[in-house]
Amino acid sequence: MSLRIDNFKVMDKTVINFYKGSDGSTMAQAKFEHGWHWASHVKPHTHDEHLCSVSHTGYCVKGTMLINTADGKEYLIKGGDFYHIEPGHDAYVTSEEGCEMIDFLGGEKIEKEWKE
């Protein structure tokens, strides 16, 4: 039997639902508005000094997000893409419609930081 618990979090330009599995894993469904920027909208609520320290593995449902990595590379994630993002990145929503993503791995750390 599985258990699902939803925790609804709202932050400026961001809505995240957390889903807990019976195995203790946490998935996150995130909806970001146009103009969302990790450094502006999330970083102030974390313990990260410069870039996001979470590793994300997931699926982009719709929209586009530009990822800038610590080594200076840029990646565009768009609706229909599966992704894996290593720690050490910044992110911007680039589509007018916003961006919706589901993180299969990484939700535990995101949820913990949002609760602190």
For the chain, domains (ranges, CATH) are 6-115 (2.60.120.10)
Average pLDDT over the chain reads 84
Question: Between 108 and 90, where is the model more confident?
Answer: 90
Retrieve residue 37's tokens.
């920027």
Retrieve residue 15's tokens.
């809505």
pLDDT in tens, 77-94: 999 999 999 999 999 999
Q: What is the pTM of this model?
A: 0.83
Cβ atoms 30, 59 nearer than 8 A? no
Mean pLDDT of 91-114: 83
pLDDT at residue 46 is higher than 80: no
Question: Between 43 and 112, where is the model more confident?
Answer: 43
